Homo-oligomer: A and B are copies of this chain.
């Protein structure tokens, strides 16, 4: 019949893209979409197996299920689609675009989940959504059987199928996968699914995994390797969804609590770097097993890993001795992005899985900071954005889409509760919130694990299990700011011993005074040394920021993002009272949450994200605070509390600092710094 009637065209319009075109009657919708460049997903290549290419016909006269209609603009729902409905679900208003033929003019809606480049919505309203554009994609192919009349190898016929069925060319195959090829081809009766990684350094495409028959499971791991904790997110590479998350203490802690003590361990113990590399890789394998179990997937479905971490973690992950990072000139072995087989990292995932390590920005500004940049996008900002990630060092990025600078500042671990007399890590029992009545000088506080303030009658019962064990980073910031607001310390940070007459909580401790928060077991107080430690840390942070502001020739930032655990927990108001961060509209100072983990997730889900951050890192101007004379000057000036604070004009006073000589204070040990300062 068709042969005799003149061939007719029909108009098809795809929403939401608005792309449109005329096609001969009988053209499959998927084919029309491809021709128009409409983004519709498919793993099976139009064989009604994967169910990914679902569309919603939204206009036109449709054939009712089971009733053929001369007037229909679409063919009726097929038995193949019914089977797909049974196996994978296909709503009544949905069709498989590969099975649906254009019979008349049509509007076809492509739902978000049917698009390859769908958006993964991020929870924070102020950030970009993640565009899904995975580097590893699955392709179902039907491979020709060997034909002795036209001899060719199995691998060549796989390549041919990829070219014929997917227009994918220039593919190579991992040796580890090649070894399995013949078995898998025969097991799948010449129907297989291959995973292709399309972004090696060389631009080559590589088959990295292979399964008999149709396979629909592709996962990736985004891992933030912190000095203290390692956090992993297992993501579905097809949907972008986080399938499971888990965290572990970094087992390197047994070699040293903080980064510099781990570097020292290597210096003292030849081969110590190998031990730590093994430890961290082992932990990643453990985490991978945990998240795979939680998501009920086989570990072999994990095809990609993205790793971020500070420079020392970065080097140890790569198996590089971090000794050079322990002293000037702080030379990275490499800061370039790395794309290598996961087995070279001794990771036991899919045999062909690949690792991507984000670039480091500089000797003390690591791949974790690059991930924070990717997440917070200062390089796309019209305004001046300050991004601060506080750990043992503060990693600082400042600028806008025009120009971006980065440096690190040696804050030391005081913000993490270390080197504070009653300091501890953020854990149940740690004081995290403090208020001091300016009249009575009496404190109230909250501890992690309870919602009650300490003046609540139920408080002691509520904390009976954990006790009140110490004070964590955010608690220290608050208590020192409150001590200042209550007049217990002055701008120079000195505890006013005269106040002991008003409240015995201010009491002598050696030749200085301390402020008693809680009398008990343990006794929790803030000593003069604790105040000094925080002053030094905040001065270092502020000086780093100030230095970058000098380079940018600005005296005000528009937006501030505080990344990391510290950034998530502190009350930004107190950070600004203490002068950790420069003046900024308080409404535009935000916690960026686990921005490094988010950045790792972006790099996992979006190949363009990798290109973006590599490009940005190349362009970022790296400033080394150790060689900038102005850093010392800013550091000294920033010791006082508060520095001029436009956000809190009522606190603004003229600060006259006593002459202080802090020789190399920024590089020295906290204790050393304190001694020198006391002598000066």
Contact = CB atoms under 8 A, between A and B. Distances in A.
**Residue among A147, A148, A329 having the largest count of chain B Cβ atoms under 10 Å:** A148
A363 interface: yes
Contacts of A328: 148
Contacts of A533: none
A181 B333 contact: yes
A321 interface: yes
Interface in A329-360: 329-336, 338, 340, 344, 360
A150 B149 CA distance: 63
A151 interface: yes
Contact of A148 (B146, B182, B334, B624): B624
Classify chain A's interface size: 35 or more
Contacts of A181: 320, 333-334
A637 interface: no
A155 to B, nearest CB: 4
A332 B175 contact: no
Given A183-B321, A320-B178, A338-B175, A151 B201 contact: no
Contact of A334 (B147, B153, B363): B153
A148 B627 contact: yes
Given A146-B329, A331-B154, A333-B182, A175 B624 contact: no
A622 interface: yes
Given A175-B318, A320-B178, A154 B201 contact: no
**Residue among A145, A179, A626 having the largest count of chain B Cβ atoms under 10 Å:** A179
A334 B202 contact: no
A334 B149 contact: no
Contacts of A323: 182
Contacts of A6: none
A619 to B, nearest CB: 13
Contacts of A153: 331-336, 360
A150 B328 CA distance: 13
B146 A331 contact: yes
A594 B181 CA distance: 33
A323 B147 CA distance: 17
A405 to B, nearest CB: 12
A203 interface: yes
A182 B151 contact: no
A652 interface: no
A177 to B, nearest CB: 11
SS of A interface (majority): loop
Nearest to A335: B153
A308 interface: no
Contacts of A324: 154, 182
A182 B320 contact: yes
A173 interface: yes
A314 to B, nearest CB: 11
A172 interface: yes
Interface string A110-152: 0000000000000000000000000000000000011111111
**Residue among A150, A178, A318, A335 having the largest count of chain B Cβ atoms under 10 Å:** A178
A319 interface: yes
Nearest to A334: B155
Given A173-B334, A334-B181, A148 B202 contact: no
A202 B198 CA distance: 12
B151 A330 contact: yes
Given A154-B334, A155-B336, A202-B203, A329 B178 contact: no
Contacts of A331: 146, 153-154, 182
Given A151-B362, A328-B148, A321 B204 contact: no
A293 interface: no
Contacts of A663: none
Contacts of A362: 151
A551 to B, nearest CB: 13
A155 B318 CA distance: 14
A36 interface: no
A179 B344 CA distance: 12
A201 B201 contact: no
A434 to B, nearest CB: 39
A156 B200 contact: no
Nearest to A204: B202
A329 B324 CA distance: 58
A176 B334 CA distance: 13
Contacts of A182: 320-321, 323-324, 331, 333
A363 B151 CA distance: 7
Contacts of A175: 318-319, 338, 340, 344
Interface in A192-211: 200-204
A173 B334 CA distance: 10
Given A156-B334, A334-B173, A318 B622 contact: no
Given A151-B622, A329-B148, A627-B149, A156 B336 contact: yes
A333 B338 CA distance: 30
B333 A148 contact: no
A201 B183 contact: no
Nearest to A170: B202
Contacts of A179: 318-321, 333
A197 to B, nearest CB: 12
11 contacts: A146-B330, A149-B624, A151-B330, A151-B362, A153-B360, A154-B324, A155-B336, A156-B334, A179-B318, A181-B333, A182-B331
10 closest A-B pairs (Cβ-Cβ)? Answer: A202-B202, A153-B332, A155-B334, A146-B331, A146-B329, A202-B204, A148-B624, A153-B335, A151-B622, A148-B627
Given A153-B331, A153-B333, A176-B344, 8 more contacts: A148-B624, A151-B329, A153-B360, A154-B334, A156-B336, A179-B333, A182-B323, A202-B203
Interface of A: 145-156, 172-173, 175-176, 178-179, 181-183, 200-204, 318-321, 323-324, 328-336, 338, 340, 344, 360, 362-363, 622, 624, 626-627
